[in-house]
């Protein structure tokens, strides 16, 4: 059985279904100065550091013809899809919907809300705009995965303990076999990233597996070669 060398044990690759890559929220709002992440007081340089690794993972998965999903956290311009609780707490020197240097903070269609150009979706890849932290909440992600016969999810992006972990838990509860790519995810808080990696793979992989990009691509190449 082809597999990826992972923790807490080998991640088996399927014989009659698909493995998809899902890249969470690699948006200017979280990675650049003037976006939502910085407005909340975070050092966005920490998150920027994974861009080359995410690119390597993305290009590796593209070359193997995996289904690829990108998510984008953002709200409608009238904020009708943004809960009052999120508006109240999503507040630093600027609030969601305020005008910032990259356009309105966390609003779909604004320059700052776009996926960074290095990782922009290619034609045929699926972009999932999402109002919440989890990518399944109020989106058609689940239907898109079902339609492509996807049972296994490789998860990357930012931030590890917020949108990445929430999405992984949502996926796990829906029966997906999830692997979090260790060096292709980042937090503004290194200790939160480390804790997330440990908690998802604890207790026999209670939420799933973790592995680095090199191991993921090596496992996928052997899997595809044997198809």
Write down the least CB distance from residue 225 to ligand C5J, Å. Answer: 34
Q: Does 47 bind ligand C5J (CB under 6 A)?
A: no
# binding residues, ligand C5J (CB under 6 A) = 8
Q: For residue 150, which of 29, 9, 37, 17 has the smallest C-alpha distance?
A: 17
Return d(Cα 158, Cα 101) in angstroms, integer.
21
Write down the least CB distance from residue 42 to ligand C5J, Å. Answer: 8
Q: Which CB atom, from 23 or from 217, has the smaller least distance to ligand C5J?
A: 23
Q: Does 158 bind ligand C5J (CB under 6 A)?
A: yes
Candidates 7, 53, 159, 210; binder of ligand C5J (CB under 6 A) is 159
Which of these ranges, 5-13, 92-100, 159-167, 178-186, lies near ligand C5J under the rule CB under 6 A? 159-167
Query: 147 exposed, middle or buried (CB, 10 Å; 0-12, 13-18, 19+)?
Result: exposed
Write down the residue that tokens 């890559």 correspond to: 21
The CA–CA distances, whole Å, from 156 to 41, 142, 153 equal 23, 17, 10
Return d(Cα 31, Cα 44) in angstroms, integer.
5
Return d(Cα 148, Cα 54) in angstroms, integer.
23
Number of residues written out for the chain: 227
Chain residues 52-91 in contact with ligand C5J, contact rule CB under 6 A: 73
Site string for ligand C5J, 122-141 (x = CB under 6 A): -----------x--------
Return the active site residues.
25, 130, 163
Q: Which CB atom, from 104 or from 133, has the smaller least distance to ligand C5J?
A: 133
Return d(Cα 214, Cα 182) in angstroms, integer.
10
Which of these ranges, 7-15, 46-54, 96-104, 156-164, lies near ligand C5J under the rule CB under 6 A? 156-164
Enumerate binding residues for ligand C5J (CB under 6 A).
25, 30, 73, 133, 158-159, 162-163
């Amino acid at each position: 059985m082809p597999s990826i060398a992972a923790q807490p044990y080998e991640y088996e690759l399927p014989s009659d279904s698909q493995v998809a890559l899902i890249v969470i929220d690699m948006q200017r709002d979280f990675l650049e100065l003037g976006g939502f992440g910085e407005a909340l007081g975070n050092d966005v340089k920490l998150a920027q550091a994974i861009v080359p690794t995410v690119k390597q993972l993305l290009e590796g998965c593209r070359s193997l013809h995996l289904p690829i999903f990108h998510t984008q956290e953002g709200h409608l311009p009238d904020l009708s899809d943004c809960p009052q609780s999120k508006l109240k707490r999503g507040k630093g020197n600027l609030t969601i919907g305020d005008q910032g240097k990259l356009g309105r903070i966390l609003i779909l269609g604004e320059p700052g809300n776009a996926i960074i150009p290095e990782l922009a979706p290619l034609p045929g890849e699926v972009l999932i705009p999402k109002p919440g932290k989890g990518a399944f909440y109020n989106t058609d992600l689940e239907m898109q995965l079902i339609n492509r016969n996807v049972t296994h999810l490789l998860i990357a992006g930012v931030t590890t303990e917020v949108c990445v972990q929430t999405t992984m838990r949502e996926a796990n509860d829906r029966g997906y076999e999830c692997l979090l790519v260790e060096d292709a995810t980042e937090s503004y808080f290194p200790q939160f990233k480390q804790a997330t990696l440990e908690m998802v793979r604890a207790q026999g992989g209670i939420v799933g597996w973790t592995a680095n990009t090199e191991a993921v691509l090596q496992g996928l190449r052997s899997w595809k070669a044997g198809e």
